[in-house]
C-alpha cells in the first residue's frame, strides 16, 4: 500500500516537472534542454522501479498461494474435531483420527456416509447445501456442518467433494436439558367443595379430614421435590420443576383420584381443581397464568387439572360430575349486577348458540323479560329458526305477538348497536358458536350466562360471567337470577313455559343432572303459571321425524362393547334434533354407556354425544373441537360423515386408552 502511494506521488511530481521543463524552454532554450535531460532520466528510473515492483508482486502472490495451500492442509489435518471428506455420492474418501471416536465400530474408508448419519440425503446436500440436524452418537451430541467443493475446474477425477465436520455440543445440550428440567413451574390448587364436604362429614371427623386433605396434597408434591404452601383453608400454591411436571403429567395427575377416594365419613367426595402455568414465564406472569388455568378448571366443573402449553391447554381429569352448590349467594350477587348493567345500557341484545335448542331460546326469553322489567329495550338475535324450537316460536307468535317482534336478525342488530349496547350470551360461551359472532366484535359490553363446562375458547373480557357446570340448564340459572333482580318476576304464562321447557330438555324430564336447585327453579316457574301439559306439547314431533329417529337407532353399531355409534346420512332441517334424540334413545340399550350420532349439517358433520355414569363424552368430543358436559356434549367436524366417524373412533380409542392407564 505504501509503495503504491509513493508511485502515485512520483507520477504527480513528473507531471509538475514536465510543466517546469516547458517553462524553461519558454525563457531559456539551453535551460530547457538541461531540464529535458533530467526529466528523461527520471522517467527512465520510474519505468525501472515499476518493472521491479511488478516482478516482486508476482513473486509475493506465488509465495502466498503456496503458503495458503500449506496452511490450509495443515489446518485441516490438525483440526481438533472429527472430519471426513466424501465424493459426490457420499462415499468417504478421507477422514481424520478424531472421527474414529464417534464411529469406532465402523470401517469408515469407502463407506457410504448416509449409512452412518440417519436421515442424510446427499442429493439434497449437493442441490441445496442442506443444514444437517443435530445427531446423537452414544452419549454425545454433535452438530454436523458441511462444505461442498466443486472440483470440475480442477484436475480431480471427481465432480464434487463434500467436507463434513462434527462439533461436539454435548455440554451445551446437557445445559439446555438442565435449564429446561429445572425451570420453575407455578401451580395453584383449590379444593372445589371444601365447605360442602366438611358439612357432610361427622363433626368429630372434620379436623382429621382437613388434616388428611392437607397431608395428601403436601406428600404428593413433595415426592416430586416441589414446594407447597397453603395460603387459605382450601387454596395451595405449588412451585415445582418442569421435570416434575412431566412426571406428574405422565401419571395424569393421579392426585385427583387419591383425593376423591378419601373417606372420613363425608358423603361428598373431595375434588381438586389445579391450574398450571406454562414454561418460560417470570414468577409474576406464572402466578397470573396459573390463576387463569385454575379459573378454567373451575369453569369446567372442577375435579381436573388444566395445564397451559404454549398457546393451548391440556386437560387432565374431569371425570366426575360438577357438585351442586347449595349456596345461592353468587346467583343473588350476579343477579343484582346484571340488573345494574341492563339499567345502564341503551339496549340489550340476547343470543344463544347456533341451531338454538329449547334451553337457549327459553333462557333468552327469560333474560328478555328481565330486560323489559328494567324498562330497557331488549331483543333476541335469531337468524334462522330450526325445528327443535319451531313449536315454541309458533306459540310465541300467537300468545306474545309483541315479544315475537323483538326477535331480530344479525344485520338488524349490527345496524342498531352503539357503544352503550349490552350483549348477553346464554347457553354458550364460545364466540364461534354464537348465533351472531360479529356482535361480539363491536364495542358493546358482553355478559356470559352458561351451564356448559368451560372450553379453550371463551369470550374476551366479559363484564360479567356466570358459568356454572353444576346447573341442569341455563334456564335454571336465569330463573334464579330473575328472583333476585326484581321482587315481582312479572313472568307471563308463556315465558314461564319457555323457561320450564329449557329445564325439561336438558334434564330429560328431570332425570339427568337434576339437583335440589333444579326443582326449586321449577317450583318458581310453576308458581308463575308454567303448565307442564303445554310444555310437553312443545316437544311433539311429526310422524316423519319419529320414523327417521327409529331408523337411526336401528342402524346403530356397538363398538368397544359399550359405545353405540350411528349416523343420519341425509341432511335435513331437523337433523340435529333427530341426532340428539336418537343419541338419547341409544342409551336405553342394555350395556351401552355412551352413544354418538353423526349427521351432515351444511358443509360440516355434527356429532351428538350422550353417556351415563362416569363415561365422559365431553372429553372425547373436546378432542374434535367440541364440548359440553360429562354426559352430554356435541362437536362439529369438517369433512364427510365417513371422515368424521374415523376421527370420532380415534378419539374414543384415545379416551379409553387413557382410562386404562
92-101, 172-181, 236-245, 421-430: segment of lowest average pLDDT: 92-101
188-202, 323-337, 559-573: segment of lowest average pLDDT: 323-337
At 118 the pLDDT is 77
d(CA 432, CA 438): 9
- 637-649: average pLDDT: 90
Give the cell for residue 94: 478421507
Range of the domain at 165: 83-176
Q: Which of 444, 428, 415, 254 is nearest to 348 (CA)?
A: 444
* pLDDT band at 121; cut points 50, 70, 90: confident
Q: Note whether 422 and 357 are same-domain residues.
A: yes
Residues in the chain: 661
- 419-429: average pLDDT: 92
Q: Do the Cβ atoms of 444 and 344 come closer than 8 Å?
A: no
Task: Express each pLDDT in 539-550 by its tens digit.
Answer: 887 788 888 889
d(CA 221, CA 145): 44
Domain count, the chain: 5
Q: Do the Cβ atoms of 551 and 582 come closer than 8 Å?
A: no
Q: Note whether 259 and 170 are same-domain residues.
A: no
183 belongs to a structural domain: no
Q: Note whether 559 and 638 are same-domain residues.
A: yes
469 belongs to a structural domain: yes
At 404 the pLDDT is 93
At 648 the pLDDT is 92
Q: What is the 3-state secondary structure (H, E, C) of 104-136?
A: CCCCCCCCEHHHCCCCCCHHHHHHHCCCCCCEE
Q: Note whether 428 and 526 are same-domain residues.
A: yes
pLDDT of 157 over the 60 cut: no
Residue finishing a domain among 121, 141, 176:
176
Q: Note whether 413 and 515 are same-domain residues.
A: yes
324 belongs to a structural domain: no
d(CA 231, CA 212): 17
* pLDDT band at 131; cut points 50, 70, 90: low
Task: Express each pLDDT in 571-590 by its tens digit.
Answer: 777 788 888 889 988 998 89
pLDDT of 159 over the 80 cut: no
Within the chain, what is the greatest distance between any pair of CA atoms?
141
At 416 the pLDDT is 92
pTM of the model: 0.63
Residue finishing a domain among 317, 337, 371:
317
Task: Please report where in the chains the cell 328431570 appears, as a residue.
Answer: 510
185 belongs to a structural domain: no
- 395-412: average pLDDT: 93
At 162 the pLDDT is 87
182 belongs to a structural domain: no
At 223 the pLDDT is 93
Task: Express each pLDDT in 33-87 by its tens digit.
Answer: 777 777 787 777 777 777 777 766 666 665 555 555 555 666 666 678 888 888 8
322 belongs to a structural domain: no
pLDDT of 4 over the 60 cut: no
Q: Note whether 165 and 222 are same-domain residues.
A: no
Q: Note whether 483 and 592 are same-domain residues.
A: no
90 belongs to a structural domain: yes
Q: Do the Cβ atoms of 132 and 144 come closer than 8 Å?
A: yes
116-120, 356-360, 557-561: segment of lowest average pLDDT: 116-120
Residue finishing a domain among 147, 176, 205:
176
d(CA 100, CA 111): 13
Q: Note whether 89 and 73 are same-domain residues.
A: no
At 22 the pLDDT is 74
Give the CA dihedral 512, 515, 518, 519, nearest 10 degrees.
Answer: 100
d(CA 505, CA 289): 37
Residue 292: which CATH number? 3.30.70
Q: Note whether 293 and 224 are same-domain residues.
A: yes
- 600-605: average pLDDT: 85
Residue 130: which CATH number? 3.30.450.20
Rounded to 5°, angle at Cα 547 from 542 and 548: 100
pLDDT of 523 over the 90 cut: yes
pLDDT of 526 over the 80 cut: yes
E strand map for 417-571: 422-426, 445-450, 464-467, 557-559, 563-567
Q: Note whether 520 and 407 are same-domain residues.
A: yes
Q: Note whether 262 and 354 are same-domain residues.
A: no
Q: Note whether 337 and 448 are same-domain residues.
A: yes
d(CA 415, CA 276): 42
68 belongs to a structural domain: yes
Residue 391: which CATH number? 3.90.1640.10
How high is the mean pLDDT of the chain? 84
d(CA 640, CA 659): 29
Amino acid at each position: 500500500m505504501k509503495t503504491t502511494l509513493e508511485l502515485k506521488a512520483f507520477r504527480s511530481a513528473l507531471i509538475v516537472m514536465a510543466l517546469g521543463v516547458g517553462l524553461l524552454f519558454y525563457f531559456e532554450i539551453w535551460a530547457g534542454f538541461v531540464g529535458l535531460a533530467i526529466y528523461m532520466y527520471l522517467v527512465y528510473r520510474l519505468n525501472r522501479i515499476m518493472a521491479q515492483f511488478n516482478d516482486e508482486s508476482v513473486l509475493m502472490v506465488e509465495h502466498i498461494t503456496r503458503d495458503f495451500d500449506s496452511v490450509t492442509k495443515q489446518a485441516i489435518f490438525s483440526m481438533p474435531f472429527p472430519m471426513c471428506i466424501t465424493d459426490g455420492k457420499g462415499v468417504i474418501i478421507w477422514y481424520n483420527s478424531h472421527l474414529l471416536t464417534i464411529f469406532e465400530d465402523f470401517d469408515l474408508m469407502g463407506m457410504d456416509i448416509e449409512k452412518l448419519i440417519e436421515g442424510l440425503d446427499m442429493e439434497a446436500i449437493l442441490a441445496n447445501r442442506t443444514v444437517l440436524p443435530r445427531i446423537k452418537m452414544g452419549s454425545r451430541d454433535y452438530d454436523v456442518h458441511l462444505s461442498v467443493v466443486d472440483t470440475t475446474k480442477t484436475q480431480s477425477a471427481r465432480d464434487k467433494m463434500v467436507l463434513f465436520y462434527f462439533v461436539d455440543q454435548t455440554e451445551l445440550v446437557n445445559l439446555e436439558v438442565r435449564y429446561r428440567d429445572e425451570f420453575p413451574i407455578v401451580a395453584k390448587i383449590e379444593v372445589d367443595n371444601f365447605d360442602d364436604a366438611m358439612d357432610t362429614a361427622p363433626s368429630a371427623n372434620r379436623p382429621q379430614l382437613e388434616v388428611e386433605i392437607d397431608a395428601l396434597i403436601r406428600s404428593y408434591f413433595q415426592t416430586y421435590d416441589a414446594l407447597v404452601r397453603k395460603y387459605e383453608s382450601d387454596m395451595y400454591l405449588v412451585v415445582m420443576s418442569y421435570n416434575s411436571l412431566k412426571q406428574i403429567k405422565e401419571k395424569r395427575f393421579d392426585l385427583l383420584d387419591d383425593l376423591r377416594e378419601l373417606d372420613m365419613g363425608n358423603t361428598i367426595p373431595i375434588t381438586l381443581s389445579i391450574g398450571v402455568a406454562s414454561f418460560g414465564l417470570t414468577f409474576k406472569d406464572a402466578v397470573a397464568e396459573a390463576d387463569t388455568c385454575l379459573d378454567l378448571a373451575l369453569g369446567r366443573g372442577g375435579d381436573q387439572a388444566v395445564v397451559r402449553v404454549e398457546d393451548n391447554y391440556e386437560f387432565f381429569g374431569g371425570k366426575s360430575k360438577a357438585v351442586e352448590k347449595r349456596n345461592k349467594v353468587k346467583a343473588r350477587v350476579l343477579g343484582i349486577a346484571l340488573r345494574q348493567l341492563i339499567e345502564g345500557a341503551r339496549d340489550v341484545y340476547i343470543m344463544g348458540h347456533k341451531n338454538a335448542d329449547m334451553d337457549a331460546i327459553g333462557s333468552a326469553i327469560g333474560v328478555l323479560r328481565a330486560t323489559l322489567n328494567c324498562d330497557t329495550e331488549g331483543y333476541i338475535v335469531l337468524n334462522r329458526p330450526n325445528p327443535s324450537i319451531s313449536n315454541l316460536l309458533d306459540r310465541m307468535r300467537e300468545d306474545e305477538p309483541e315479544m315475537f317482534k323483538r326477535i331480530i336478525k344479525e344485520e338488524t342488530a349490527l345496524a342498531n348497536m352503539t357503544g352503550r349496547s349490552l350483549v348477553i350470551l346464554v347457553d354458550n360461551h364460545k364466540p364461534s358458536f354464537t348465533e351472531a359472532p360479529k356482535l361480539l366484535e363491536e364495542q358493546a359490553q358482553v355478559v356470559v350466562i352458561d351451564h356448559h363446562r368451560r372450553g379453550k375458547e371463551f369470550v374476551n373480557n366479559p363484564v360479567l360471567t356466570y358459568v356454572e357446570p353444576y346447573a341442569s340448564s341455563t334456564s335454571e340459572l336465569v330463573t334464579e337470577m330473575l328472583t333476585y333482580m326484581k321482587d315481582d318476576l312479572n313472568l307471563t304464562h308463556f315465558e314461564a313455559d319457555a323457561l320450564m321447557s329449557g329445564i325439561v330438555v336438558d334434564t330429560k324430564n328431570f332425570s339427568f343432572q337434576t339437583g335440589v336447585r333444579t326443582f326449586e327453579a321449577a317450583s318458581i316457574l310453576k308458581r308463575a303459571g308454567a303448565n307442564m301439559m303445554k310444555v310437553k306439547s312443545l316437544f311433539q314431533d311429526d310422524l316423519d321425524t319419529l320414523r327417521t329417529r327409529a331408523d337411526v337407532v336401528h342402524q346403530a353399531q356397538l363398538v368397544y362393547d359399550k359405545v353405540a355409534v350411528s349416523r343420519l346420512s341425509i341432511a335435513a332441517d331437523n337433523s340435529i334434533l333427530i341426532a340428539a334424540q336418537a343419541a338419547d334413545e341409544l342409551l336405553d340399550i342394555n350395556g351401552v354407556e355412551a352413544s354418538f350420532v353423526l349427521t351432515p349439517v351444511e358443509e360440516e358433520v355434527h356429532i351428538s354425544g350422550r353417556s351415563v355414569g362416569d363415561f365422559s363424552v365431553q372429553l372425547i368430543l373436546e378432542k374434535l373441537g367440541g364440548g359440553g358436559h360429562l354426559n352430554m356434549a356435541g362437536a362439529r367436524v369438517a369433512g364427510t360423515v365417513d371422515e368424521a366417524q374415523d376421527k370420532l373412533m380415534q378419539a374414543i380409542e384415545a379416551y379409553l386408552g387413557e382410562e386404562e392407564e
